[in-house]
Amino acid sequence: MNFIETRGNDGVKQSEVTFSEAILNPSASFGGLYVPEQLPKLEDNFLQNHLNSSYKELAYDILKAFEIDIEEREIQKALDLYDNFDDASNPCPVVKVKDDLFVHEQYHGPTRAFKDMALQPFGSILSSIAKAKNEKYLILAATSGDTGPAALNTFKNKENIQVACLYPDGGTSDVQRLQMVCEDGKNLKVIGIHGNFDDAQSALKNLLASDSFKEELKNDGIKLSAANSVNFGRIIFQIIYHFWSYIQLLKQEEITYGEKIYLVVPSGNFGNVLGGFYALQMGVPIEKLLVASNENNILTEWINTGVYDITDKELKLTKSPAMDILKSSNIERVIYSLYGAKRTKEMMEDLNSNKKFVMSEDETKELQKYFSAINSNDTYGAKVIKSFLDDGYLMDPHTATCIKAYENLKEKDLKTVIYSTAEWTKFSPTVLNALLENDEKYADKEALEEISNKFKANLPQNIKELFNSKIIHNTIIEKENIESEIVKFIRES
């Protein structure tokens, strides 16, 4: 299967590329993204045939359906990394918390967040391609807190790979920051910037599209790629776990085959919910995708009104920081799927030039066939965390935003799966404030220990060890200096 461009072709780049080419060089014509030329049609009994499959077996068959040009042994090697999760046979369990509500726990990997589900195998595959081609790559990553640790972990000490990871200084939790700045791989560079995640992501996209930056790297024999979800190598692995949600409900005899379900996804950059959108189109019986936002409610406004407008918006720093985003990259792939390349190019150029685009009434109605959206605030999230622990379930602040959608957006009496994208350990001060119903300031280490002791919550060993780890990366710069800092890292490595 080949991959095509969301904004059409510029006459310079190839109009169609292979999967390996798309993940090695993720920037398409006119600053667009790559998407599959068509989604694979799975056989009618695909879901039933995988009732007794392991996660790796399911993942392998979905990847094969995309006909990706990756050697079978490399695919298997990548999928074997799920063996390092808490439970190799079930790396992302689906847990029942109410009669009609289930939590898909995506945080059982090495960095305790959902990004491991995609970045562990993706990193292995990208590294193997680079090594086979005998090419050297600089991998760029911009993070609001979870992509960074997961990217650094998967690419650490990989041959032919260097990684530059950008994060907003003060915009992540202490645990997330320590997971990055304490990584000791010789091929890694972690850079804090004075700015927010949108600044980091914009810098990444600009560098990916910059001919002068690529030429600078070329002088050192290095090519450029990315670990963010602008890269379809991330997205393809994010499709799989939505199939797993449905299969687990079948296996638990909570639904019968063909019965539709709701999926609720806390969303910032729209990659996770995009995976659900693709799963729906590939045949998973999903009634609707319910999008949960925090006070940075740009996605809620877009889905509900058809207008994406950030002209007068300032990014708010909330207690669910992974969702503190105003320019969501992956809406572009949804727009392309629904309206085509010409319209996608128009909307994205409007957004880049005018910080706004407006869809027609018919376009908005088409979007709303698949998505509904709602937003909540930190006060609501704290109440949810407290009430659910009172009933025996501990969640993080991002997962808590899903409950607003579960309570308000369901139009039918159907089973609902919400996505828990991070373990509580990543945001322990916020969780402790919620549980004790106060607003005191807690250090991460203090909050982790109190929650673990007082509420009998499991504290993973790798989280405990963070606070005794040596800080390797202490670079914090102005966003204007990102390119020169990365070039300096390349030259000194």
Bridge partners, residue 160, by sequence: none
Q: What is d(CA 183, CA 185) in angstroms, rounded to the nearest whole number? A: 6
pLDDT value of position 1:
93
User: What would the pLDDT profile of 428-452 be if each residue is shown by its tens digit?
Assistant: 999 999 999 999 999 999 999 999 9
Q: Which residue carries 């993973």 as its tokens? A: 460
Which residues are 291's β-sheet partners?
A: 265, 373
- Considering only CA atoms, which of 90, 107, 106 is closest in space to residue 56? 90
C-alpha separations of 102 from 136, 293, 309, 393 in Å: 43, 19, 33, 11
Q: How many CB atoms lie within 10 A of CB 484?
A: 11
Contacts of 460 (CB under 8 A, 6+ apart): 112, 423, 425
380 to 45, 144, 420, 437: CA distances (angstroms)? 41, 22, 17, 12
Do 290 and 263 meet the contact criterion of CB atoms below 8 Å apart?
Answer: yes
pLDDT at 74: 97
DSSP calls for 60-78: HHHHHHTT-SS-HHHHHHH
| CA nearest neighbour of 248 among 237, 263, 228 | 263
DSSP 299-351: HHHHHHHSEEE-TT--PPP-SSGGG--SS-TTHHHHHHHHH-HHHHHHHHHHH
**Is the per-residue pLDDT at 491 higher than 90?**
no
Tens digit of each residue's pLDDT (9 = 90 or more) over 192-214 = 999 999 899 899 989 988 989 99
Q: How many CA atoms lie within 13 A of 18 on its CB side?
A: 8
- Is 125:101 a contact under the CB 8 Å cutoff? no
Least confident of 6-20, 113-127, 145-159, 204-218: 204-218
Q: Are 129 and 23 in contact (CB under 8 A)?
A: yes
Task: Please tell me the distance from the alpha carbon of residue 53 to that of residue 49, in angstroms, as a whole number.
Answer: 8
Tokens of 70: 């990756």
Is residue 455 predicted with pLDDT exceeding 80? yes
Average pLDDT over residues 420-426: 97
Class of domain 80-113+233-466: alpha beta
Percent of the chain with pLDDT over 70: 100
Token readout for 423 is: 């373990």
Q: How high is the pLDDT of residue 39?
A: 97
CA dihedral 104, 108, 112, 114 (to 10 degrees): -40
Q: What is the mean pLDDT of residues 247-267?
A: 97
Q: Rounded to an integer, what distance in angstroms lies between the CA atom of residue 174 and that of residue 199?
A: 20
423 contacts 451 by C-beta, under 8 angstroms: no
312 phi and psi, to 5 degrees?
A: -115, 15
Give CA separation, 180 vs 43, 84, 110, 183, in Å: 42, 20, 13, 6
pLDDT of residue 406: 98
Q: Please determine, for residue 335, whether its predicted confidence score (pLDDT) is greater than 90.
A: yes
- Average pLDDT along the chain: 96
pLDDT in tens, 41-77: 898 899 999 999 999 999 999 999 999 999 999 999 9
Residues 271, 281: Cα–Cα separation, whole Å: 15
Half-sphere exposure of 357 (CA within 13 A, CB side): 21
pTM check: above 0.85: yes
The first and second tokens of residue 341, run together, are 């390349």
Q: Please give the structure tokens belonging to residue 302.
A: 């877009």
Over 80: is that where the pLDDT of 319 sits?
Answer: yes
What does each C-alpha distance from 435 to 194, 384, 402, 440, 454 come to in angstroms? 32, 10, 18, 12, 10
Where does the pLDDT of residue 217 fall: very low under 50, low under 70, confident under 90, or very high at 90 and above?
very high
Closest alpha carbon to 294 in 420, 236, 381, 387: 381
User: What per-residue confidence (pLDDT) applies to 41?
Assistant: 86
Q: 10 Å Cβ neighbour count for 61? A: 16
Do residues 291 and 190 touch, judged by C-beta distance below 8 A? no
As separate numbers, helices (DSSP H) first and strands (DSSP E) second, the chain gives: 21, 15
Q: How confident is the model at residue 140 (pLDDT cuts 50, 70, 90)?
A: very high
Alpha carbons 254 and 186: distance in angstroms, whole number: 48
Quick: pLDDT tens for 457-477.
999 999 999 999 999 999 999
Strands 222-226 and 261-266: unpaired
Task: With cut-offs at 50, 70 and 90, classify the pLDDT of residue 493.
Answer: confident
Q: Where are the domains of the chain?
A: 80-113+233-466
For the segment 211-232, the average pLDDT, to the nearest whole number, is 92
Give tens-digit pLDDT for 230-255: 999 999 999 999 999 999 999 999 99
**What pLDDT, on a 0 to 100 scale, did the predictor assign at position 184?**
94
Question: pLDDT-based confidence at 104, cuts 50/70/90?
Answer: very high
